Amino acid sequence: METEPASTEPARRTEPARRTGPRTDRSARRTLRVARAAPVYWALVAVLAGTLLATGTSLAVGSAQPGTDASVLGGVPPAVVTAAVGALGLLLAVAGAAMLGATAQPARPGRALRAAVLAAGWTVPAAAVVAFVDAQLLSLAGYLPVLLLLAPFLEGVRDALGQVLEPATLLQVVVVVGVVLWAHTVLLYQRATASGGPPGWARPAAAARWGSTAAYVAAAIPTLYALTRFTWLVYPLGFDRQAWEAGRADGSLLPGIWLGVFALLGALLTVGLTRPWGDVFPRWMPVVGGRTVPVGAAVVPASVVAVLIVPAGVSMTLQLLAAPAGPVTENWGAIGPTLLWPLWGLALGAAALGYYLRRRGEESATAGPGSAVKTTYR
């Protein structure tokens, strides 16, 4: 996918290009609102964590939660985990307020200071996600539609839904939501303190190239995962035959098949980040057909899924290291694809970033006087 200059004659500019100015302004205002909310959110998290510590309230997190071998903090005492969350909240609240203050100053920070702030601004929350989030949250997100559908009819499903309210799950949700909010703060600071134009890799043409590569990598891995699950309908590929036959008899293979469908749908949507229908809704779609796809409608879901997949992959790797070698070898089809999840998450995050930079760059260009950008797909 390459981006090339289109005609600059006003008569040749398309209608969508003339409407991108207001849309860009609305997007900027939305980013500002969310960026301002992030320090407040993390301050509340710090206050809540401090309250729990002060009152001696112990949550079932860290070493107190079941399945501790699947979590980076599985062996850490609950009080230490709570204190770590509080410290993270305090750090991001103070840093976020300072970054927002810097965006309002006419003087830009020095290049070294800006680079250090951005490096810490992206690294600290990324490390927090890997530390606090595990495969449980991704699994719950994947099964949630089925659980909601079957909950009125099956008591066991209703019990499974109760996991949403467990402290360990709520903690992971708090961290993921906070990191998504925090990303808006860092992006606002990054744009407001930039001097000159974007670097070469962040320009629409370059973002289209590497973003397309990342998208296809991010689509290939869940497709591989889905194929192994679909194969189980007829053959125990990389799966213990006795367990496979029992799963076919009692229906316990069906959740894996559902996750395969879910993964394949995600792969298709990931490819959409590189295709025309990822920019404009197909005309056959009711209500939205022919309309421009909001940038956030593609970037936010992809980013959230990427944030969930990376720690889930780390979690699955920890489980693999803790498991006996025999079962792992016999069930390589079940375990093998999950080892690629960290790469999947990183590639999906890069694809979402490339899409964001391409779309924002095109909208900024077409909003300017006598300038337009046309994207060529291949």
The pLDDT confidence band at residue 343, using thresholds 50, 70 and 90, is: very high
The pLDDT confidence band at residue 372, using thresholds 50, 70 and 90, is: very low
The encoded tokens of residue 184 equal: 């808006």
Q: 22-36, 150-164, 239-253, 309-323: lowest mean pLDDT where? A: 150-164
The pLDDT confidence band at residue 225, using thresholds 50, 70 and 90, is: very high
The pLDDT confidence band at residue 11, using thresholds 50, 70 and 90, is: very low
Going by the DSSP 8-state scheme, the letter that residue 2 receives in this structure is: E
Q: What is the mean pLDDT of the chain?
A: 83
Q: Rounded mean pLDDT of 303-309?
A: 92
Kindly tell me if the per-residue pLDDT of 35 is higher than 80: yes
CA atoms within 13 A on the CB side of 314: 21
Per the model's pLDDT, the better-predicted residue between 186 and 169 turns out to be 186
User: What does the pLDDT read at residue 66?
Assistant: 65
Per the model's pLDDT, the better-predicted residue between 371 and 240 turns out to be 240
Kindly tell me if the per-residue pLDDT of 345 is higher than 90: yes
Q: 165-169, 172-176, 288-292, 372-376: lowest mean pLDDT where? A: 372-376
Show the CA angle centred on residue 169, arms to residues 45 and 46, nearest 5°. Answer: 10
The pLDDT confidence band at residue 111, using thresholds 50, 70 and 90, is: confident
The share of the chain scoring above pLDDT 90, in percent, equals 43
Q: Express each pLDDT in 119-130 by its tens digit.
A: 999 999 999 999
Q: Rounded mean pLDDT of 53-77?
A: 77
Going by the DSSP 8-state scheme, the letter that residue 282 receives in this structure is: -
Kindly tell me if the per-residue pLDDT of 321 is higher than 70: yes
What residues contact 304, with CB distance under 8 A and at least 6 apart? 176, 180
The domain total for the chain is 1
User: What does the pLDDT read at residue 69?
Assistant: 57
The pLDDT confidence band at residue 44, using thresholds 50, 70 and 90, is: very high
User: What does the pLDDT read at residue 3?
Assistant: 47
Going by the DSSP 8-state scheme, the letter that residue 337 receives in this structure is: G
Going by the DSSP 8-state scheme, the letter that residue 4 receives in this structure is: E
Kindly tell me if the per-residue pLDDT of 191 is higher than 60: yes
Question: Which amino acid, residue 235?
Answer: Y
The pLDDT confidence band at residue 196, using thresholds 50, 70 and 90, is: confident
User: What does the pLDDT read at residue 323?
Assistant: 72
The pLDDT confidence band at residue 255, using thresholds 50, 70 and 90, is: confident
User: What does the pLDDT read at residue 57?
Assistant: 85
The pLDDT confidence band at residue 23, using thresholds 50, 70 and 90, is: low
Alpha carbon distance 95, 136 (integer Å): 30
Q: 12-26, 125-139, 265-279, 316-330: lowest mean pLDDT where? A: 12-26
142: containing domain: 2-376
Alpha carbon distance 134, 126 (integer Å): 13
Q: 234-248, 323-337, 343-357: lowest mean pLDDT where? A: 323-337
Q: Where are the alpha helices (DSSP H) in 133-235?
A: 135-150, 155-161, 167-192, 204-231
Kindly tell me if the per-residue pLDDT of 189 is higher than 80: yes
Kindly tell me if the per-residue pLDDT of 288 is higher than 50: yes
The share of the chain scoring above pLDDT 70, in percent, equals 83
Alpha carbon distance 205, 376 (integer Å): 10
